[in-house]
A and B are shown apart, each in its own frame.
Chain A
Amino acid sequence: MIRITIKVVFLLLLPVLAVILVACAQTKSMVAWHPAEVTGSPICSDCHTDDRTAMNHTSDYITRHKFYAAQNKRTCEVCHRESFCSDCHAHKEDLKPSDKYKDSPERSLPHRGDYLNQHKIDGRINPASCFPCHGRQNNERCGVCHR
């Protein structure tokens, strides 16, 4: 009963929200692409002083990027194309990200070296870390053994 109610409320809210959205669309949009070319790992706080300073691409940023993407993907898109995300967050993939970019050993890319044996260990430690990428997508290779 609760589930049905949630669905009904959700579906009813959609058109209402759409009308409100159009009426409220007054603020100016963020730029589509960063006005100055950005290369390497930018330190956003060198120029910005607001919440974008949280996106400083320091060496430990990779472990936190998921939080920013879940809240502000449009900010990521000011500098990154969609392919930058899909290089790792793939739907179906033969080549590991670390194989595609062996010419960039400094990048934090998953599954370096032969990962066949190591995945058994990592999967024991924290299978939840495998799930976002291989739970519902990019798991055809998993299915070869895990039938």
Chain B
Amino acid sequence: MVKRIKMMLVQLRSRLNLQAAAAAAMLLTGLFVPGVSPAVSLSGESTTYLQSLQAADGTKELPFYEYLNLSVKEVGKETISFQFGGWLKYDLKGRFPVYDRTSNDLSYAYLSYRDTAANAVVNLGRVLVFEGVASERVDGIYARVDLLNNLSVSAFGGAPVETGSDLTATANIYGARISHQMPGLYQVGLSYLNEEKRGSTVREEEGVDLWLRPMSKVELMGKSRFNGDTSAWSDHNYVLVLGPFANVRLNTEGSFINYKEYFTGATTAVFRFDPAVIDQHEKVHILGEEVAYDISDGLKVSVNYRTYTYEVAGSAKYYGGNVRYGAAASGGAGISIHKMSGDTDRLNYAEYRAYVYRKYGKTDVTLDLLDVAYSAAINNVKNAYAVTLGAAHELSERVKLGADVEYSKNPDVDKDIRSLIKLTYSFDSAKEHHSANAKPSESAVAQTPAAAPVSVAASELAKPVAAPGQDKPKEGN
């Protein structure tokens, strides 16, 4: 039975020409958007980039990218939808020294069923799974549902979507998570993941994830992962959040990573324990503290300190702070200074960043400076920096055109100039349909892509709202 399912998945994957699907979807969208049926809403965004840069060997490159994401739904019913995201690239000038002239990727594409009860969801296609130990992209199926007594379960299975030399059509991955929660008090989950290639297990992970709020202004969250293949803990990562106390928050982070157990199933050689890069016997303890203070709605300050203690390589510490200011209507600015101090020359440097962005009507202008000062020169360079100047103009409510140019100097490239032109087109047929046919007050409701279907269930989301009807969005950074 299991073998038959595996064979079906392999056949499905081999038949699924993802590149062709991506190209077809992009082409169809262009044809489909203007004349989409009123019964179906089509929303999403198309972003076109034209980048100019020079490769390390001096070759000029002019890559053109088209990114598209779209969502197709039946108006008035939220149960079934189709989600798509992908990109295409074509180098207008020459051949990349590394890549093919053309390239593309299907980030996700799935048919989704969402039930009106029990938060039940079934996604079928290329899906993103974030559940406990799983942070995967899978060609297959994902499902979740709430059970009685605040229990929830989720499961997924299919072919892993990976990049790298040892990707094989005979790979499969599956996993599940079960969780229990007392809303507002805690949520604890147990998860499992198994990945096989060529009939043998390359990853077997079990995990515990936790969110706990034992009292007001105290939150503990994190997860631990166990390598089931070697029966050893691979990592723990927890954060304690205290506050806000008069707009001050304290974040304490504690992590432990056992390299030998953590870097499993890698598809790139760098994580396969080349002693010159990663020592498999290394274990690192990371402790960090961040104090964040919101002086006002727009002005925020934070300082942070983090230590790295290695069992083999010594230790390092990273500390610094930043100040940010942001106002939705006019713009903002930020400055940050951080220092890394470690046992080797490479781990001794200071990092400075300053940026400013300003709105002039429908035009945004940005300036961004980044500088890294090394204690010891690398390739005779002690100071690496990048300066970026950009501007964007809103041509209409749906179309925005922007451009930026970046000048940089670093240990690898003496002088590097890159530029980018960006054209963004947003579309939402439901919104357009409302605008064309509805009274002005109705079109205002349609600002939310799924406004009509969610209105029935809005009370469910708004149930614990302190002040109904005062859902005021805030601008921040």
Contacts and interface: CB of A to CB of B under 8 A. Distances in A.
Interface of A: 3, 6-7, 10-11, 14, 17, 20-21, 24-43, 46-52, 54, 57-60, 63-64, 67-74, 78, 81-83, 85-86, 89-95, 99-100, 102-106, 112-114, 116-118, 120-121, 123-128, 131-132, 134-144, 146-147
Contacts of B174: 10
Contacts of A37: 447-448, 473
B390 A106 contact: no
Contacts of B347: 121, 124-125
Given A25-B120, A51-B181, A117-B410, 5 more contacts: A48-B466, A59-B477, A105-B356, A112-B368, A125-B342
Interface string B275-295: 001100000101000101010
9 contacts: A27-B146, A35-B455, A58-B476, A63-B290, A70-B132, A85-B128, A85-B130, A113-B385, A143-B165
B241 A128 contact: no
B476 A59 contact: yes
A139 B368 CA distance: 27
Given A14-B155, A139-B164, A26 B118 contact: yes
Contact of B262 (A59, A74, A113, A131): A131
B471 A67 contact: no
Assign chain B's interface to a size class. 35 or more
B426 to A, nearest CB: 11
B120 A41 contact: no
B265 A86 contact: no
Interface in B73-126: 78, 83, 85, 89, 98-99, 103, 105-108, 114-121
Looking at chain B's contact residues, the main secondary structure is strand
Contacts of A52: 464
Given A42-B474, A136-B160, A29 B115 contact: yes
A50 B62 CA distance: 50
B366 A81 contact: no
B239 to A, nearest CB: 6
A65 to B, nearest CB: 10
A114 B194 contact: no
A60 B153 contact: no
Nearest to B449: A33
B163 A38 contact: no
Given A31-B457, A125-B347, A135-B268, A102 B388 contact: yes
